[in-house]
Amino acid sequence: MTSQLDQLRAHTTVVADTGDFRQLAQFAPQDATTNPSLILKAVQKPEYAPLLAETVAAHKGAARDEIVDHVLVRFGLEILKVVPGRVSTEVDARLSFDTAATLSRARRIMALYEAAGVLRARVLIKVAATWEGIQAARELEAEGIHCNLTLLFAFAQARACADASVQLISPFVGRIYDWHKKSAGAQWDEAARAGVNDPGVQSVARIWQHYKQHGVRTEVMGASFRNVGQILALAGCDLLTISPDLLAQLQASDAPVAPQLLAPAQVLPPEAALTEAEFRYQLNEDAMATEKLAEGIRLFAVDAGKLDALIDAALAA
């Protein structure tokens, strides 16, 4: 029988969400995504300790933020040996509200990949979908540096990313689900809010349908999954980035997988672009998105700080 993972590939591009490149081959994903937390998790494993030590030693005279970028790119290069498509590498979350600094780091990351012989088409620079991050992505896209806008929870963020002609967005399913479940408390009905009724699934489906209906070329990649049901409910989405644990569950099952997202029959004219004021107000009106965006940046910033500390320790060794 055909596994759910192979069936899913017939409807959606499967992406692996991990920094642990040794896990990738068994799932044969097209692309792979990383973030500060995933890279931190990987570098703390004994099998990756030599990679971190070698990279730090090779750039001992450089500033710490530059060494960090070398570490991120080193993992990206290893991932690209396994996947045939693209790798996403993230700009430091602590720069999420600084357009100029985001641009500088993104350009440096891309320059490191290019110096290693990697074409721009194989790299997506991940940037938080703040107003400042989206404006940086607009400029990067104009330079031919393609972007993956992450920490995306609100419809306003998706619209602004479309306005900026970014290559790809990563709306978060699981964190939206987490917020609504916590907010509902004892009133939460897991069975009733599963599958296509999951609030995280509904958010991604709404964005995907809107993009298709208005002819937006930006790719939609559902991310941050808590269970296989959320993944299967988004079969038909452009891409889905999935953790190794959930990829293994999909690979172990041969239950049928049917497309859930179907393109609209009619394409409507493009919408007028959101102004900065409209974006900020609409984001502010969405309590879930406002809270999860701020929390996501804080959590990634903490893990970025932990990676800094590991590099400092390696430099001092």
pLDDT digits (tens, 9 = 90+) for 152-186: 999 999 999 999 999 999 999 999 999 999 999 99
Q: How far apart are CA 207 and CA 165, in angstroms?
A: 15
Which pLDDT score is estimated for 87?
Answer: 98
Do β-strands 147-152 and 31-33 pair in parallel, antiparallel, or remain unpaired? unpaired
pTM: 0.97
pLDDT value of position 265: 84
- What per-residue confidence (pLDDT) applies to 263? 87
Enumerate residue ranges in the chain where pLDDT < 70: none
Q: What is the pLDDT of residue 266?
A: 85
Whether 126 is catalytic is yes
Radius of gyration of the chain (CA): 19
Pick left, alpha or beta for residue 239 (phi over 0 → left; psi -120 to 50 → alpha; otherwise beta).
beta
Provide the pLDDT for residue 308: 96
Catalytic residue among 45, 60, 126, 292: 126
CATH topology of domain 12-316: TIM Barrel (3.20.20)
pLDDT tens digit string along 186-230?
A: 999 999 999 999 999 999 999 999 999 999 999 999 999 999 999
